[in-house]
Chains A and B, each alone.
Chain A
Amino acid sequence: MIWSKYSAPQAFYPLAGRLIPWFSVVAVALIGVGLYMGFFVAPTDFQQGEAYRIIFVHVPAAWMSMFLYVVMAVWAGVGLGLNARLSFMMAQAIAPTGAMFTFLALLTGAMWGKPTWGAWWVWDARLTSELILLFQYAGVMLLRTSIDDLRRADRSSAVFSLVGVVNVPIIYFSVQWWNTLHQGASVSMSTGSKMAATMLTAMLLMTLAFWLYSVAVILSRVRCIIVERESLPVWEEQPTVVQKVAEVR
């Protein structure tokens, strides 16, 4: 199979290098179109006024934060199951970007909540599970940096990210249950029901753009990790290095 060929870091490194420009260019283009749609085509929301435009960054960031955690856990699981170095490197590369989007989702959520609900923060199911998600990203990264042995760091953080995958949905439903108990604290967040088509298009374009951005950034981080971890020559620039070596001689 073609995939098994690229499961070796040496083979994946140049492939990732070829893919990054494409993902980057399309991501930048889509962000441009999405921002134009979001600010100039999408109409004013009759309930929330212009503040609703925050969802064009908030919803993509929130979706990416959850999606990236699942992808990270899948790579971690593949790594544990097949004992594949590259899978652990992918999981390692995903964590910082996922944590960044989780932070952005929380921040932009607060920015949206203040004018809409009158509060920066409420203990709602989505907000709480997003906060716990940020803690779990931090846990995965801290566990990795605390363990000196690379092989154990890979595997231990993989186990923790898999445990976390079970935790986040449980927290979501427990907080939802908890909020129905405390009647006063519940806040309705129905935005999706009567969204104009242009608003939805802009939101989906931004989501796609954030996804492509994530792929580009993660691939480029994987390349850094490969160079840092594998004590092999930098394949891409081998000719120039060989030339330099010859000059030194």
Chain B
Amino acid sequence: MSRSSMWEAVGGIVRRDLLLAMRRRSDAAMSVFFLVIVVSLFPLGVGPEPAVLRTIGPGVLWVAALLACLLSLARVFTADYVDGTLEQMVLVPQPLAVLVVGKVFAHWVISGLPIVVLSPLLGLQFGLSGESLGVLVMSLLLGTPTLSMIGTIGAALVLGVRGSGLLVALLVLPLYVPVLIFGAGAVTSSMAGIGGEANLSLLGACLVLSLFLAPWATAVALRIALE
């Protein structure tokens, strides 16, 4: 099998998933809407003091991004599982792990990218300044693909299992902890004047590590689920 046919297959999967998502725009809009609501609840619960909001801001934004990403995980494979597309994906000559990368990329474009784009606006609600907002966007840009990568392992593991919505949260959230620490840490340290570069490069390392391990684990989990 040639390399070009592999890229064609991945490109085909990405195109198809994006097209399907465009037809059902309300699905993607829902997780963004969820993010905005959750983030807006915190100032109402904690109180309007700017100093307090600035302190909790990075953590709140990152936790909300984590949860929003989690909500959309159920959609990654379910439709393909129900209509049998997934079984075809397992059978094609291209390695399943590579096809999974296509699925993950499409998931990130649908649910991760809107979060990245929207985050400066949400950061303003918490009084983040110009430079911190830049670091926030950068951290989410590096972190949300990792969240999609790790999340799809969970989504593949619980495919077709009863109570899978809650189960996937319990499985995936502990795995999200390092990304949360580095992501929120990058913003916090840039606010403290230390600069977020160290944390950002650790986020990058997490992304590379997950890029190597997660598609492979997801492929194994998918094969197990489809047996």
Contact = CB atoms under 8 A, between A and B. Distances in A.
Interface of A: 80, 128, 132, 135-136, 138-139, 142-143, 146-147, 151-152, 155-156, 159-160, 162-164, 166-167, 170-171, 174-175, 177-178, 181
Interface string B156-186: 0110011110010011011101100110010
Contact of A146 (B158, B209, B224): B158
B174 A167 contact: yes
29 contacts: A132-B174, A132-B177, A135-B170, A142-B170, A143-B157, A146-B164, A147-B161, A152-B224, A152-B227, A156-B225, A159-B153, A159-B157, A159-B217, A159-B220, A160-B153, A160-B171, A163-B217, A164-B174, A166-B209, A167-B174, A167-B175, A167-B177, A167-B178, A170-B206, A171-B181, A174-B178, A174-B182, A178-B181, A181-B189
Contacts of B182: 174
A175 B209 CA distance: 18
Interface string B130-164: 00000000000000000000000100011001111
Contacts of B171: 139, 142-143, 160
A26 B221 CA distance: 41
Interface residues of B, number: 31
B188 A181 contact: yes
Contacts of A163: 153, 175, 213, 217
Contact of B174 (A136, A146, A174): A136
B202 interface: yes
Contact of B167 (A80, A136, A142, A167): A142
Contacts of A142: 167, 170-171
Given A135-B170, A174-B202, 6 more contacts: A132-B174, A135-B173, A156-B221, A163-B217, A167-B177, A178-B181
Given A151-B227, A163-B217, A139 B189 contact: no
Nearest to B223: A155
A128 B180 CA distance: 13
A18 to B, nearest CB: 34
Contacts of A175: 181
A181 B181 CA distance: 11
Nearest 4 pairs between A and B by C-beta?
A135-B174, A155-B224, A174-B178, A174-B181
A203 B157 CA distance: 40
Contacts of A136: 174
A156 B224 contact: yes
Contacts of A151: 227
Contacts of B178: 167, 170-171, 174
B183 to A, nearest CB: 11
Contacts of B181: 171, 174-175, 177-178
